[in-house]
Amino acid sequence: MKHKLIFVPLMALVFTLTGCPRYETVRRVSQQQLNTQKAFKDNLATYFKHMSDFAKAQVSVAKFFLDDLRDQKLQNLEDLANDQFATIQNPTQGQRDANRKKLGEDTAAWKNAYENKKKELDDLVTQLDAKHAEMLNAYSEIVATQEVLNDYIKMKKYDEVIVDGLMDKLKLNQDKVNALFQDASSLADKISKPPVVTPPK
């Protein structure tokens, strides 16, 4: 998911060509760029939907794996407690109670550790969806800005302050989208890795 989104500004060029035969070529290129950006935005939304569904499927598999590991761990804890108790010669009721109490505490701690790991995976998917939503919003701003720039090209108008502001906005959102792609990629990598449960303290 390591993409870099790059847009080529046409405004600086077009306003030197508005009285030139090449203006129509620049205008067509600008319109094509806008059409491409709109189509890409629609495709991006579909892509993010598939990515989210895939991430959720990965988490479902990971949770099944974690449940299996948890059951094995809890059985091991019980076997260990029973083995330890069996080594005591003529155990008292207090020793029996202490053995069962420790088993209960260890069991609860490990159950909590596995549940926390599953919650962590759910949180990663939530964060990934949030990054996708932020990217779509930023890309919508890019398309909207490009539409305004495209209108300026059609009208052969140039206001340096307005155009510079629009260009800055375009670059700001482009940089934002690129940074968000990196964040989303990192989240997707974490989701794809086999889950590891940290032993409770």
Q: What is the pLDDT of residue 153?
A: 73
Counting as low any pLDDT under 50, the low residues of the chain are 1-21
Q: What is the pLDDT of residue 35?
A: 86
Measured CA to CA in angstroms, residue 85 lies from 82, 104, 124, 144 at distances of 5, 14, 41, 72
pLDDT in tens, 107-126: 999 999 999 999 999 999 99
Q: What is the pLDDT of residue 61?
A: 96
Q: Which helix (H) or strand (E) segment is 184 a member of?
A: helix 160-192
Q: What is the pLDDT of residue 78?
A: 97
Answer yes or no: are the C-beta atoms of 190 and 117 closer than 8 Å: no
Q: What is the pLDDT of residue 150?
A: 81
Tell me the C-alpha distance between 161 and 9, whole Å: 16
Q: What is the pLDDT of residue 12?
A: 46
